[in-house]
Amino acid sequence: MEKNAKIYVAGHRGMVGAALVRRLTREGYRNLLVRTSAELDLRDQAAVARFFAQEKPDYVLLAAAKVGGIVANNTYRGEFIYENLMIQTNVIHQSHVHGVKKLLFLGSSCIYPRQAPQPIREDYVLTGPLEYTNEPYAVAKIAGLKMCEAYRAQYDDNFISVMPANLYGPGDNYDLHNSHALPALLRKFSEAVAGGHDRVQVWGTGTPRREFLHVDDLADACLHLMLHYNEPEPVNIGPGQDLTIQELAELIAELVGFTGAIEFDFSRPDGTMRKVLDVSKLHGLGWHHRIRLEEGLRAVLDSEEWRAASPRRTLVPQASA
């Protein structure tokens, strides 16, 4: 991928898109093409066609999507399937029409069956029922994955797909109604400390297992694959290590200095009981994650972004070795 190539990062204001822009810029790619949703509505087929005809990007990183946590996915089911289908269909098709050299499609680990064997291999797609709470989003992402495969098979387009683990880091959403588990827990425990509360309620039983990947590690992996991977099969991106929601809650409590009780609300859904990706293919391609979870969480809690949004929340100093 040439340093002066025109690279379109779709969704550059989102968590993943912003990380991709940071990583590409740091690596010396300067000809980055971006548009806000106000400037270009990716759901609008005609608008996307005009954009590609005018700008003619060489490479495309498709990170634009409608995203949210378990509540948002389950509540806005129609919006999640419609908007994601429209966004990815328009961008993938116009990338084909205008001869884009390579496209990377950002999928999601939720495309895998609810009861998939663990760790989850890339070839487990469509081998069983999906988790109901995020099924519309997952179906849309599966369609994007299959569209990339189909255009490669019929037209020999170099379109690749990646399936990241649960993400955290700069640009995350901390809204308790629409966020994912990790940022919601960061907010809950930090506010409990700031407010002097002696208990925090966590949704579910605390027993589901999850893995968490720093978004900057994801961006680094995506660049690695843009440079070194050109095959039809999707690639999982993750740390390959998981922990229970209870263990995550206890780690966050320790980091922010919460010493009260952690209570679990069994009336709330757990979602999939375990989801850890098999990343042996990615390791075979020469990439491993670099940011440990505790290190990444400390960076989040010590960031200007976090302090600006939540000035009363503090981070417990790290003990010296």
**Per-residue confidence in pLDDT tens, the chain, 321 aa:** 999 999 999 999 999 999 999 999 999 999 999 999 999 999 999 999 999 999 999 999 999 999 877 778 888 999 999 999 999 999 999 999 999 999 999 999 999 999 999 999 999 999 999 989 899 999 999 999 999 999 999 999 999 999 999 999 999 988 776 667 898 899 999 999 999 999 999 989 999 999 999 999 999 999 999 999 999 999 999 999 999 999 999 999 999 999 999 999 999 888 778 889 999 999 999 999 999 999 999 999 999 888 876 645 444 555 433
Q: Which two tokens stand for residue 43?
A: 């759901």
The two most distant CA atoms of the chain are separated, in Å, by 61
Compute φ and ψ for 106, nearest 5 degrees.
-90, 110
Contacts of 287 (CB under 8 A, 6+ apart): 220, 221, 224, 225
Q: Please report the sign of the dihedral spanned by the C-alpha atoms of residue 295, residue 219, residue 230, residue 160.
A: positive
What is the model's pLDDT at position 177?
67
Please report the domains of the chain, with CATH numbers, ordered by start residue.
7-168+212-237 (3.40.50.720)
Report the SS3 class of residue 120. strand
Asked whether 212 and 182 are in contact (CB, 8 A), the reply is: yes
Q: At what angle do helices 77-97 and 135-155 cross, to 10 degrees?
A: 10
Q: Is 106 annotated as a binding residue?
A: yes
pTM for this one? 0.92
DSSP 285: T
141 is in an annotated binding site: yes
Contacts (Cβ under 8 Å, ≥6 apart) of 243: 209, 210, 211, 251, 293
pLDDT number for residue 321: 34
Catalytic residue among 137, 151, 168, 229: 137
Write down the pLDDT at residue 169: 96
Beta-carbon contacts of 212 under 8 Å, excluding residues fewer than 6 positions away, are 165, 166, 167, 168, 182, 239, 248, 293, 296
Is residue 107 marked as binding? yes
Q: Which two tokens stand for residue 150?
A: 């189909």
- Three-class DSSP category at 180: coil
Q: Is 137 in the active site?
A: yes
167 appears as a binding residue in the annotation: yes
